[in-house]
């Protein structure tokens, strides 16, 4: 099967250092395998999004030498596909309506795949997936063997919210299959989500891609860069310094004799193999 990788940012701000690392890492893996590199804008959570963010991120990537092999897929235009997946789960009896108030959602008023809260006529329910007592195991290409008891770790997780938005886990799984992704390369903050996604793939009869979770970039105080107050936007009008830092973060050589992003990436690619990526879950950004 031909390798297909992807970079899938959420449009919650400008391209920042942590997402540049994920973009560069996924690009290098795809090019190293002689495969395709695709883009997906995960714009399914309007309350969290920043106007102009998708255009800003998509506009910045080529300035860093990161050019995709196809136009980007926008999740905001994929509602029909998520509806179809949801109906498939519903028809198979794998989901149940949840009437818990927002305050109850973490509480767990659920028993045997049912919500114990009384239906509220004035609004739609959230929908949860019935999660059995099952261990999901997979081998991450960088982080090694992983096992998670899905019931303990996630419980009956929400796949469609009260507002009608689909959860990240469902949209991600449906679109990875739609785009024919063979390997997911992304930041280690999503390692915990992977068993939920593998379980959803099984529920929906979708293939499971290989996974590689890159070390998470932390700031000087040990916080995830994208979560910290300084979100560390990178400057696409002056790409070489941030691109060198991203390559250095991935233990790759960064040429000093040119500022051309394409030349920096080609040089790194010539020295790249996935096995030589840093085997750690997080590290400080320089
Ligand atoms: Zn409930």
CATH of the domain at 151: 3.90.800.10
Residue 230 has what pLDDT?
52
Residue 106 has what pLDDT?
57
- Claim to verify: residue 188 and residue 279 sit in the same structural domain: yes
User: Could you tell me the pTM of the whole model?
Assistant: 0.94
Spacing, Cα 129 to ligand 1 middle (Å): 11
Is residue 174 assigned to a domain?
Answer: no
Spacing, Cα 95 to ligand 1 middle (Å): 12
Spacing, Cα 124 to ligand 1 middle (Å): 12
Spacing, Cα 115 to ligand 1 middle (Å): 4
Is residue 17 assigned to a domain?
Answer: yes
Spacing, Cα 108 to ligand 1 middle (Å): 7
pLDDT < 50 regions, the chain: 229
Is residue 166 assigned to a domain?
Answer: no
Residue 108 has what pLDDT?
59
The CATH number for 52's domain is 3.40.50.620
- Claim to verify: residue 37 and residue 85 sit in the same structural domain: no
Spacing, Cα 22 to ligand 1 middle (Å): 35
- Claim to verify: residue 37 and residue 94 sit in the same structural domain: no
Is residue 169 assigned to a domain?
Answer: no
- Claim to verify: residue 51 and residue 186 sit in the same structural domain: yes
Say how many Å lie between the first and final Cα of the chain, rounded: 37
Tell me how many domains the chain contains: 2
Is residue 186 assigned to a domain?
Answer: yes
Is residue 59 assigned to a domain?
Answer: yes
Spacing, Cα 111 to ligand 1 middle (Å): 9
51 CB-contact burial (10 Å; exposed 0-12 / middle 13-18 / buried 19+): exposed
CA distance 185 to 10: 15
Residue 159 has what pLDDT?
96
Spacing, Cα 153 to ligand 1 middle (Å): 17
Model confidence pLDDT, tens digit, residues 128-147? 999 999 999 999 999 999 99
Look up the domain containing 118 and give its range: 80-160
Under 8 Å CB-to-CB from 57, ≥6 apart: which residues? 9, 11, 14, 15, 19, 41
Spacing, Cα 159 to ligand 1 middle (Å): 13
Spacing, Cα 126 to ligand 1 middle (Å): 8
Map tokens 């099952």 to a residue: 134
Model confidence pLDDT, tens digit, residues 193-223? 999 999 999 999 999 999 999 999 888 787 7
Under 8 Å CB-to-CB from 80, ≥6 apart: which residues? none
Residue 58 has what pLDDT?
98
Spacing, Cα 158 to ligand 1 middle (Å): 9
């Amino acid at each position: 099967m031909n390798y297909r990788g992807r970079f899938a940012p959420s449009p919650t701000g400008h391209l920042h250092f942590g997402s540049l690392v994920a973009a560069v890492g996924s690009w290098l893996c795809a090019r190293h395998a002689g495969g395709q590199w695709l883009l997906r804008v995960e714009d399914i959570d309007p309350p969290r999004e920043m106007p102009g963010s998708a255009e800003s991120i998509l506009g910045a990537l080529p300035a860093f030498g990161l050019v995709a092999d196809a136009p980007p897929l926008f999740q905001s235009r994929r509602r029909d596909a998520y509806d179809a997946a949801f109906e498939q789960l519903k028809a198979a009896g794998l989901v149940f309506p949840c009437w818990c108030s927002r305050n109850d959602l973490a509480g767990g008023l659920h028993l045997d795949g049912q919500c114990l809260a009384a239906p509220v006529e004035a609004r739609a329910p959230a929908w949860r997936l019935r999660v059995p007592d099952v261990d999901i195991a997979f081998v991450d290409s960088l982080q090694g063997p992983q096992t998670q008891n899905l019931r303990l770790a996630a419980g009956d997780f929400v796949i469609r919210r009260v507002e009608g938005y689909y959860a990240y886990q469902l949209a991600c799984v449906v679109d990875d299959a739609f785009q024919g992704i063979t390997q997911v390369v992304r930041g280690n903050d999503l390692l915990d989500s992977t068993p939920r996604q593998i379980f959803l793939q099984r529920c929906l009869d979708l293939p499971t891609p290989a996974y590689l979770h890159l070390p998470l970039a932390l700031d000087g105080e040990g916080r995830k860069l994208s979560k910290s107050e300084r979100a560390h936007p990178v400057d696409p009008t002056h790409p070489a310094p941030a691109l060198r830092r991203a390559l250095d973060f991935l233990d790759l050589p960064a040429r000093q004799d040119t500022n051309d992003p394409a030349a920096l990436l080609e040089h790194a690619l010539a020295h790249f193999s996935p096995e030589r990526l840093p085997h750690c879950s997080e590290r400080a950004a320089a």
